[in-house]
């Protein structure tokens, strides 16, 4: 692996902080705005983070696009804790988040570094999951968006929605649009690098935003500004023509993608990288006590087949070549997985039971072993989540422990609120339902 530079490590920290609203279920949009603005405090004032990012401050944003959610929270009777019910609660979650930070360039004295940080998929954002992440089939959208006379390839509909959401953002208070801010500052003549970054969904959107910015004039003719892109773990956003356009526009030296070899997300949606998604953990020593891998058994096979089907006949092409690294696996106890599978089955309703058993049958399994199939799917999901998230900071960028701990004070998914938990359960339920419908049509 080509080791990340100090600049890349700093960019990763700012990329990570863009996910500040991950898992936050709020009763008002204002609460989400206030929470997002904690990024400013983290970068400028947190003792550990500000020391790692000396001289950096947020100069535009932090801006969000939010969606309204209606969830069914579980409630327990005050008189009898054994009695449970549900109540309908309306709230909001962030779909997209972006900000711009500025500081001294760590590799070029007298130059500035602007970091455009784009958040990844919010765990509790239905629009993030089912629109921006998974709308990869059907008619792809010509690039540049909304420009009919300059064809530069195509992107997925979900990617187009995400890009449009980001480009439409205006700063709260000033009303200044993102593009207006960037074009104004960078047309001023100062020596600068504009680095666009993002992880996961942000890693798919970042090349699009970077290519859009690098295409604007007169920035690219002044010679004192370059636009770069540092995506991590992003799924593939477009076709071969679009991939060529990004590289031709930015230049190979200004495009630095990184991906974990055991992360399934960046393997979507290019056919050449999707082939082993279902078996990626089959040979990994994950499940104790036997140090077993995770087989692509019937239920998992159904989910993977559904994922493959989403893109239909669309042809996606990876942008450039990811710089690889490999993180250690997350060792899981078989007894814990069995308990989790049994608990899930016990709490799931009859509709979920029918859906899961149908998927198992359609993909060659025996429903008598449904707990084992759920166990395999859970082991796969837990491993996939591990390989897609915290391992990047620890094993790819080797962020110091004190900085990682400090970031954890601002972003944490360990203790979700009842509303956030209810929405996550609804997303899981919809995923099961979608795979069930696909299985019935297969």
Give the whole-angstrom CA distance, residue 211 versus residue 7.
Answer: 20
* Cα 261 from chain centroid (whole Å): 16
Q: How many CB atoms lie within 10 A of CB 341?
A: 20
Does any domain span residue 379?
Answer: yes
| H/E run at residue 229 | strand 225-232
Does any domain span residue 161?
Answer: yes
Each residue's pLDDT tens digit, 251-305: 999 999 999 999 999 999 998 899 899 999 999 999 999 889 999 999 999 999 9
Helices marked H in 240-323: 240-250, 271-274, 298-310
Q: How confident is the model at residue 77 (pLDDT cuts 50, 70, 90)?
A: very low
Q: What is the pLDDT of residue 84?
A: 59
pLDDT (average), residues 41-56? 97
Does any domain span residue 242?
Answer: yes
* Cα 51 from chain centroid (whole Å): 27
Give the whole-angstrom CA distance, residue 369 versus residue 431.
Answer: 21
Give the whole-angstrom CA distance, residue 34 versus residue 41.
Answer: 11
pLDDT (average), residues 173-182? 91
Q: Are 134 and 33 in contact (CB under 8 A)?
A: no
User: CATH no. for residue 385?
Assistant: 3.40.50.1820
pLDDT higher than 80, residue 216: no
Q: How confident is the model at residue 179 (pLDDT cuts 50, 70, 90)?
A: confident
Does any domain span residue 227?
Answer: yes
Q: What is the pLDDT of residue 38?
A: 97
Q: How confident is the model at residue 339 (pLDDT cuts 50, 70, 90)?
A: very high
pLDDT cut 90: percent of the chain above it: 78
pLDDT higher than 70, residue 78: no
Nearest CA to 389 out of 5, 23, 10 is that of 23
Does any domain span residue 262?
Answer: yes
Does any domain span residue 226?
Answer: yes
pLDDT higher than 70, residue 83: no
State the pTM of this model: 0.94
Q: What is the pLDDT of residue 177?
A: 93
Q: How many domains does the chain have?
A: 1
Task: Kindly give, in sequence order, each residue whose CB lies less than 8 Å from that of residue 216, ignoring residues fewer than 6 positions away.
Answer: 179, 183
Each residue's pLDDT tens digit, 346-370: 988 899 999 999 999 999 999 999 9
Does any domain span residue 255?
Answer: yes
In degrees and rounded to multiples of 5, residue 406 shows phi and psi of -65, -40
Q: Which domain holds residue 179?
A: 6-441
Coil vs helix vs strand at 389: coil
- Of the given ranges (146-155, 186-195, 209-218, 336-345), which has the lowest mean pLDDT? 146-155
Does any domain span residue 1?
Answer: no
In degrees and rounded to multiples of 5, residue 227 shows phi and psi of -105, 130
């Amino acid at each position: 692996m080509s080791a990340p530079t100090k600049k890349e490590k700093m960019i990763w920290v700012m990329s990570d902080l863009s996910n500040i609203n991950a898992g936050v279920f709020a009763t008002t949009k204002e609460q989400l705005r206030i929470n997002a603005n904690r990024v400013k405090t983290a970068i400028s004032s947190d003792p550990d983070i500000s020391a790692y990012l000396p001289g950096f401050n947020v100069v535009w944003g932090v801006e969000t696009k939010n969606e309204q959610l209606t969830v069914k929270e579980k409630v327990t009777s005050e008189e009898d804790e054994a009695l449970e019910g549900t109540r309908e609660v309306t709230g909001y979650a962030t779909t997209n988040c972006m900000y711009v930070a500025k500081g001294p360039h760590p590799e070029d004295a007298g130059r500035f570094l602007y970091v455009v940080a784009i958040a990844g998929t919010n765990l509790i954002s239905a629009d993030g999951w089912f629109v921006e992440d998974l709308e990869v089939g059907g008619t792809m959208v010509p690039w540049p968006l909304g420009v009919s006379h300059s064809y530069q390839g195509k992107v997925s509909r979900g990617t187009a929605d995400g890009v449009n959401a980001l480009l439409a953002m205006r700063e709260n208070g000033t009303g200044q649009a993102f593009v207006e801010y960037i074009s104004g500052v960078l047309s001023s003549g100062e020596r600068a690098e504009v680095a666009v970054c993002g992880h996961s969904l942000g890693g798919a959107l970042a090349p699009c935003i970077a290519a859009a910015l690098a295409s604007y004039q007169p920035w690219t003719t002044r010679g004192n500004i370059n636009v770069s892109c540092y995506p991590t773990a992003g799924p593939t956003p477009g076709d071969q023509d679009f991939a060529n356009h990004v590289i031709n526009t930015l230049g190979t030296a200004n495009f630095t993608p990184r991906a974990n070899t055991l992360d399934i997300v960046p393997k979507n949606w290019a056919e050449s990288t999707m082939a082993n998604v279902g078996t990626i953990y089959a040979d990994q020593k994950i499940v104790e006590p036997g140090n077993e891998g995770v087989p692509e058994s019937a239920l998992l096979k159904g989910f993977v087949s559904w994922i493959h089907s989403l893109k239909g006949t669309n042809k996606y092409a990876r942008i450039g070549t990811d710089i690889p690294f490999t993180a250690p696996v997350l060792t899981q106890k078989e007894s814990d997985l069995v308990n989790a599978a049994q608990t899930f089955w016990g709490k799931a309703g009859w509709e979920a039971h029918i859906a899961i058993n149908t998927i198992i049958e359609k993909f060659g399994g025996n429903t008598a072993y449904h707990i084992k199939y759920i166990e395999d799917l859970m082991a796969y999901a837990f491993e996939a989540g591990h390989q897609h998230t915290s391992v990047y900071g620890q094993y790819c960028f080797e962020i110091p422990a004190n900085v990682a701990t400090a970031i954890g004070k601002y972003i944490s998914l360990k203790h979700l609120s009842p509303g956030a938990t209810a929405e996550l359960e609804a997303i899981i339920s919809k995923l099961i339902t979608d795979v069930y419908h696909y299985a019935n049509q297969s």
